[in-house]
Amino acid sequence: MIETLKTLCALRGPSGYEDAVRDYLAKEAEPYADEMTVLPNGSLLVFKRGLKQLRHKLMLCAHMDEVGLIVSKIEDDGFLRFRFIGGVDRRVVIGKQVLVGEQQIPGIIGMKPVHLSHDDEEGSVPKLKELYIDIGASSKEEAEEMTFLGDYVSFQTDCTELPNGYIRMKALDDRVGCAILLETLKKDLPVDCWFAFTVQEEIGGRGARSASHYIQPDIALIVEGTTAADVPPSSGAGKVCSPGKGPVLPFMDRASIYDRELFRLLSRIADEKQIPWQTKTKIAGGTDAQAIQRNCGGCKVGAVSAALRYIHSPSSVGSLRDIEQMQAIVDGFLEKMEEVYG
């Protein structure tokens, strides 16, 4: 699992540019798939037969895309202006290394140095128009030889294993889910199942909408990364959820109310397997569930997530034990499907 996760997180895949992630997943999934298709928008859909065929169509879903940037203007002096793709906090990107465009031109996100800042600017969050990407070009002409308007930009971060079973990587949201779905695909399944690796979740669940329209599932499980806010000075309900305390089983977020029956089933599976679990103490965020449960005739949706610190930043931190326990819950979920929905 860890090696698969490292490989996936190292790949570049901002929303709308998930090609490398999809190509890797398709290559790995192909030997185990009974059917595989790529939708026009780029989502990868894989069907695998299990020992039993359910009366209800089942789908597991994880999104391939990550937050990033896009080049919006090339200045006369060769600096690149940009916009964010997905929800990125300006405070976490200053001084961070990035890769620009298909040629992976190295760059760094810069701003006016502190020595030239006014007193009222010190300590304030710079506006987006004050930030730029420096790729070492000295003129617009030089920059245009290396990059183009609309080029995707991704963060450049090493994959690092931290002490006590924690990991630091970019794009853990949601390569965690992609890794778990891929590992599940490689197993003998108790029931037939569709696997949806979706695009453009970070900008509104667009890939999940078309994927669910194609598959038309009755039941869907979203396997995700979710926001942990357990760092100082947060306390109590303000912590939301914490890495290392088990998978997160949400009952609601800002975009979806999860099916009560599925929520209780997932929690029962965790209890039976003696897996510690938590739920979110604050209604926040959203997943592909928002698109899936509203599509066609509707769909029952549940979710299992990894609590991630510094989500939507160049470096997220999560617990390997949580991820392994998520895998066990997903396995148990498939095992229960015939009993509950057969």
Q: Last residue of a domain, which of 125, 155, 185?
A: 155
The answer to whether residues 121 and 198 belong to one domain is no
pLDDT at 202: 94
pLDDT at 295: 80
> Of 3, 75, 145, 201, which residue is the catalytic one?
201
165 within a domain of the structure (yes/no): no
pLDDT at 117: 57
The answer to whether residues 127 and 218 belong to one domain is no
Asked whether 330 and 304 are in contact (CB, 8 A), the reply is: yes
pLDDT at 126: 85
Distance CA 230, CA 209 (A): 32
Query: What's the chain's Rg over C-alpha atoms?
Result: 21
The answer to whether residues 174 and 305 belong to one domain is yes
Q: Last residue of a domain, which of 124, 155, 186?
A: 155
The answer to whether residues 177 and 54 belong to one domain is yes
The answer to whether residues 150 and 105 belong to one domain is yes
91 within a domain of the structure (yes/no): yes
pLDDT digits (tens, 9 = 90+) for 16-54: 999 999 999 999 999 999 999 999 999 999 999 999 999
Pick the closest to residue 63 from 335, 315, 285, 310 (CA basis): 285
80 within a domain of the structure (yes/no): yes
The CATH number given to whatever domain includes residue 91 is 2.40.30.40
| 201 annotated active-site | yes
Q: Terminal CA-to-CA distance of the chain, rounded, Å?
A: 30
Q: What residues in the chain have per-residue pLDDT under 50?
A: 115-116
pLDDT at 75: 97
163 within a domain of the structure (yes/no): no
The answer to whether residues 218 and 306 belong to one domain is yes
The answer to whether residues 321 and 331 belong to one domain is yes
Residue 101: give the domain boundaries.
68-155
pLDDT digits (tens, 9 = 90+) for 127-166: 999 999 999 999 999 999 999 999 999 999 988 999 999 9
- The model's pTM is 0.93
276 within a domain of the structure (yes/no): yes
Question: How many Cα atoms sit within 13 Å of 55 on the Cβ side?
Answer: 5
The answer to whether residues 45 and 82 belong to one domain is no
The answer to whether residues 59 and 26 belong to one domain is yes
The CATH number given to whatever domain includes residue 218 is 3.40.630.10
pLDDT at 120: 62
Pick the closest to residue 81 from 55, 106, 100, 58 (CA basis): 100
Pairing of strands 160-162, 105-110: unpaired
Cβ-in-10-Å burial (0-12, 13-18, 19+) of 6 comes to middle
Q: How many domains does the chain have?
A: 2
The answer to whether residues 112 and 247 belong to one domain is no
Q: Last residue of a domain, which of 107, 131, 155?
A: 155
The answer to whether residues 210 and 295 belong to one domain is yes
160 within a domain of the structure (yes/no): no
The answer to whether residues 17 and 30 belong to one domain is yes
127 within a domain of the structure (yes/no): yes
255 within a domain of the structure (yes/no): yes
